Amino acid sequence: MADITINQGASDSAIADWLAQHLLNALAAHTGEIAISLPGGSTPFPILAELARQGLPFDRIAIWPGDDRVVPDDHPASNVGRIRAALEPLGARIVPLVEDAAPPHFALVWLGMGLDGHIASLFPNTDPRPDAPARVLRLTPDPLPPEAPFDRLSLTIPSLVATEALLFVARGAEKEAILRAAIAGEHDLPVARLLKAAQSPATCFT
């Protein structure tokens, strides 16, 4: 398991500062483009709005969603559409998920986590494996969330752990408890499987 740091109560601006410094370090260590993966949902976008003010060279950053709903990019439920609207005007290259994609080695994989321990769209019913042969998987959550009743495309655990660093933003006491139990090996939910497989450092904001 990776080295894991938990930071409690960080503001959106503090997380954006952490992100900016990590990305600047990654850009300095690499020539050309780096790739990162971002989550969907509501949590990342206020943080991305803060990050957008940092003046980063987004034209050197390719952004992959960790997962997406199988809907058109202009659908309100589309993760890639929201990421595109937030960061493409700054010069970032947005890479939509497709089933036969070959994800790169990422400079950063940022994940959220559900109260059922899912990460990306790897819900418990999908039995995600660290040795999954596919790098992108199409799947149907069970139960389907009523606010987003769509099939999903998701990076699999091998794709998500192919990164220089992991970032979790999982706010609230319930999510922190699930995360700490995963770190302690007290359950086998998807987040625990990912952390067990990870070799890169993980930073968690709760």
Q: Six-digit token pair at 73?
A: 């990019």
- For residue 56, the model assigns a pLDDT of 96
Strand partners, 44: none
Residue-level pLDDT at 17 = 97
Q: Which fold has domain 4-205?
A: Rossmann fold (3.40.50)
pLDDT at 141: 84
**Tens of pLDDT along 152-165?**
999 999 999 999 99
Is the C-alpha dihedral spanning 92, 97, 101, 102 positive or negative? Answer: positive
Question: Exposed (0-12), middle (13-18) or buried (19+): which is 175, by Cβ within 10 Å?
Answer: buried
Cβ(27)–Cβ(54) under 8 Å? no
Ramachandran assignment for 120, one of left (phi > 0), alpha (psi -120 to 50 degrees), beta (any other): left
Instruction: At 129, give phi and psi (nearest 5°).
Output: -120, 140
Residue-wise pLDDT tens digits, 84-127: 999 999 999 999 999 999 999 999 999 999 999 999 999 999 99
Where residue 74 falls among pLDDT bands split at 50, 70, 90? very high
Domain ranges in the chain are 4-205
Reported as a single tens digit per residue, the pLDDT across 11-58 is 999 999 999 999 999 999 999 999 999 998 889 999 999 999 999 999
Q: What is the per-residue pLDDT across 118-174, written as a single tens digit (0 to 9) for each?
A: 999 999 999 999 999 999 999 998 888 888 899 999 999 999 999 999 999 999 999
Retrieve residue 21's tokens.
């410094």
pLDDT at position 144 is 82
| DSSP codes joined into one string, the chain | ---EEEE-S--HHHHHHHHHHHHHHHHHHSSS-EEEEE--SSTHHHHHHHHHTT---GGGEEEEESEEESS-TTSTT-HHHHHHHHHGGGTPEE----TT-----BSEEEE---TT--BTTB-GGG---TT-S-SEEEE--SSPPTT--S-EEEE-HHHHTSBS-EEEE--SHHHHHHHHHHHTT---SHHHHHHHH--S-EEEE-
